[in-house]
Amino acid sequence: MSDNILPRGDLTVRTIAMPADTNANGDIFGGWVMAHMDQAGGIAGVERARGRVVTIAVEAMTFIRAMRVGDVLEVYTEVESVGRTSMKIHIEAWAQRFQTQPSRQGDGRDFHLCPHRRRRPPEPIPPI
């Protein structure tokens, strides 16, 4: 993947990788990136569904390169499609390396979310 590809969707989460987020390799813990992607999916899902949502499935993720301490993580989201009781959100994570040239792609994939209902059948997603 070339670095001149632009991120797709809206910037939904932006944060910096800290030493507390490293794994035993000294790189940023992959689960930290996944957790922020899930968080971004939740933010985007709530806005579209106008109510709380829950992640029910994640399609494939690819990690192009490891993040390091000081890198800025950017997660972009775009609602891809909306069904009656679930929606599909495209999520991309980008990393901007500390002190170097612009941002480059981390990975891309889709998250499926549905409105959050405890013990009740899922509720329809309202039209825009």
Going from the C-alpha of 123 to that of each of 2, 42, 111, the distances in angstroms are 41, 16, 18
Binding flag, residue 30, a second copy (CB under 8 A): yes
Smaller CB separation from a second copy, 1 or 18: 18
Applying CB under 8 A, which part among 1-9, 31-39, 82-90, 120-128 lies near a second copy? Answer: 31-39
Q: Binding pattern to a second copy, positions 45-84, x when CB under 8 A?
A: -x---xxx-xxxxxxxxxx--x--xx-x------------
Q: How far apart are CA 4 and CA 25, in angstroms?
A: 29
The Cα 49–Cα 127 span in angstroms is 9
With tokens 């040239």, the residue in question is 101
Q: How far apart are CA 74 and CA 42, in angstroms?
A: 15
Residues that bind a second copy in the complex, under the rule CB under 8 A: 11-27, 29-32, 34-39, 42-43, 46, 50-52, 54-63, 66, 69-70, 72, 98-99, 116
